[in-house]
Structure 1
Amino acid sequence: MSEPTARLALATCAELPDLDADDHPLRAALADRGVPTDAVVWDDPTVDWGAYPHVLIRSTWDYSDRPAQFADWTRRVERTSTLLNPADVVTWNIDKTYLRDLEQRGIPIVPTIWLDPERQMNARAIHTRFPAFGDFVIKPTVSAGSRDTGRYDAGETPSRSLAITHAKNLLAVGRHVMLQRYLTRVDTEGETALVYVDGEFSHSVRKAPQLEGPYRAADAEGVLHRDEAMTARDATDVERALADRVVATLAEVFPDRAPLLYTRVDLIPDDEGNPVVLEVELTEPSLFLAHADGAAERFADAVAARL
């Protein structure tokens, strides 16, 4: 790799050497503020990360295939540079078992059953964890962009059989598994993603529902993440209140790190229409900067202030 030309590295993956399109407005806004950037592939062995005083994680979307390597990389970078968000925050956020920590602190999450590979569960044991009716979702606790995720119908025997196979295959290779009832209001209302910058609300968007059927390996081959249909959306007062609680709770979990540079809180409605947390993205989330006026500029101001 050639010598760095900027003091800020935007970490990406080999499949997106010029970053995802979502980050292009940010790069332009940073340039307008006199902050040139280099897009740098996180696992490129030729990169001297110490040459960059600051490293901002962006489209490193292949990390879920090698989470331990990625976590090691964050710690290695942090020995010589300031990593945004910090390595301990990222390591906590890589595995979705962080949702258990939030739930224990009073944050409502999508009801989840956790399957541990160390228990060596057989097909019958897995089957008994499924809901009696309705759709449900199976996914590994380490994944990105809805990869390795499937939706199943509890009322159909073939679908339940596919779900057992999906869960067994994940558990067999040592992956922890989440089993969640599919909350059907998402089909009509979608998800609401709320973006916070330096702990302050920036903007929100609607994500159309993505899961339509069982997981199929062929569909996932060579795909970093599923395409997302995004539109601008004003979060409701109730959604804002819950997302604000999440951000405040993160400050309790990481008191020495608050406020985090970026946080994305993904909410969906439960059966009564109340928002619950689907995910909290602190690692490499799309921030949907093009979907809100001034969002790229707000984020660029926050980044520049930390350099």
Structure 2
Amino acid sequence: MTICAYVTYADFELDDERDLVPAAWREAGIEGRVERWDDPSADWSAYDAVVVRSVWDYILRREEFLAWARRVASVTKLLNPYAVLESNTDKTYLRDLGVPTVPTHWSSQGLPDWPEYVVKPSVSGGARDTTRTTDRAEAARLAKELEAAGRTPMVQPYLDMVEAEGETSLLYFNGRFSHAVRRSAMLAAGATAADNPRAQLRTPAPDQVELAEKVLTAIPHDLLYARIDLVRLPGGAPAVIELELTEPYLFLTYDPQAPARFATALRELL
């Protein structure tokens, strides 16, 4: 039987897809075993593929994580591939997507005059070290603190439409659309960590699908999974706020057929 690793991290209890995915793999003839990425006793060469999933602490240990990924890729099939993980774990990739993205200023100097700002580091996740402020000077100060710590700041306008419409996340497995969800704004007034991820299934609009698939066709690698997070700009056009190719939550519990689609995609890539 084909054996694949489902890779998580120390706090794996937080991942409610950890049991769901190996069960779906089993139905597709794949034995799945849960492994911590930083477990020194793991024999990665024993697996037909190593599937990176809830490695949600990589943002604190990026270089260590990438060194691990390089080692794994040298002995077995790594999904998603190492080159994808290397690029996608630093949000400076947004500069090179070649599609509409949320406007981003990458310095503490010369901030645009926006009504409200979101400041965060380019290596981050789950709104960690992310601040929303209406004070331009405060935004510049926060960005300067990130630079002083050797981190790349991202300064973006806060988009009110995110609260009205939310973010739309489109999920693709091996290049095929699986499902989409509407996600509530993580930085909305009164929101707490316990509120996220709040989501509901939705049918993406044609312009959202067109943008998501334009992003995917520009990536020269096989992707087991991709989550493309979109928002609408003030004029109504969709834009990419994030391209999740490393450790995205896949919202598999929201669509009963999604785990089977994920398993089929893995089988195809093996």
Matched, 1:265 2:257: no
Q: Where does 1:87-106 land on structure 2 (aligned, <5 Å)?
A: 87-102=82-97, 105=98
Instruction: List gaps (5 residues or longer) in structure 2.
Output: none
CA contact (8 A) 1:136 1:151 kept: yes
Aligned-partner Cα distance in 2 for 1:70–1:276: 29
Match of 1:235 in 2: 204
Letter in 1 for 2:214: R
Match of 1:216 in 2: none
TM-score (norm 1): 0.82
Secondary structure at the aligned position of 1:113 is classed as coil
What stretches of structure 1 move > 4 A for 4+ residues in a row?
Answer: none
Match of 2:9 in 1: 13
Matched, 1:134 2:83: no
Aligned-partner Cα distance in 2 for 1:90–1:226: 28
Instruction: List gaps (5 residues or longer) in structure 1.
Output: 116-125, 155-159, 214-218
Q: Deviations over 1:51-98 (max 9, x none)?
A: 222100010000000111111111110111100000011101111111
- 1:56 pairs with one of 51, 54, 57: 51
- 1:190 pairs with one of 160, 166, 172: 166
Aligned-partner Cα distance in 2 for 1:73–1:127: 35
- 2:102 pairs with one of 80, 96, 110: 110
Aligned-partner Cα distance in 1 for 2:68–2:116: 38
CA distance 1:133–1:100, change in 2 (3 Å): closer
1:172 Cα deviation from its structure 2 partner = 1.5
Secondary structure at the aligned position of 1:166 is classed as helix
Secondary structure at the aligned position of 1:27 is classed as helix
1:162 Cα deviation from its structure 2 partner = 4.1
Matched, 1:199 2:175: yes
- 1:249 pairs with one of 199, 218, 224: 218
Aligned-partner Cα distance in 2 for 1:167–1:44: 35
1:23 Cα deviation from its structure 2 partner = 3.9
Aligned-partner Cα distance in 2 for 1:43–1:191: 32
Secondary structure at the aligned position of 1:209 is classed as coil
CA distance 1:69–1:170, change in 2 (3 Å): same
Matched, 1:69 2:64: yes
TM-score (norm 2): 0.93
Secondary structure at the aligned position of 2:196 is classed as coil
1:33 Cα deviation from its structure 2 partner = 2.3
Aligned-partner Cα distance in 2 for 1:165–1:43: 35
CA contact (8 A) 2:7 2:53 kept: yes
Percent same amino acid at aligned positions?
A: 42
1:173 Cα deviation from its structure 2 partner = 1.3
User: How many residues in Structure 1 have an aligned counterpart in Structure 2?
Assistant: 268
1:22 Cα deviation from its structure 2 partner = 2.8
CA contact (8 A) 1:151 1:212 kept: no
Q: Is the radius of gyration larger for structure 1 or structure 2?
A: 1
Q: Deviations over 1:76-124 (max 9, x none)?
A: 101111000000111011111111111xx3x000011112xxxxxxxxx
1:232 Cα deviation from its structure 2 partner = 0.6
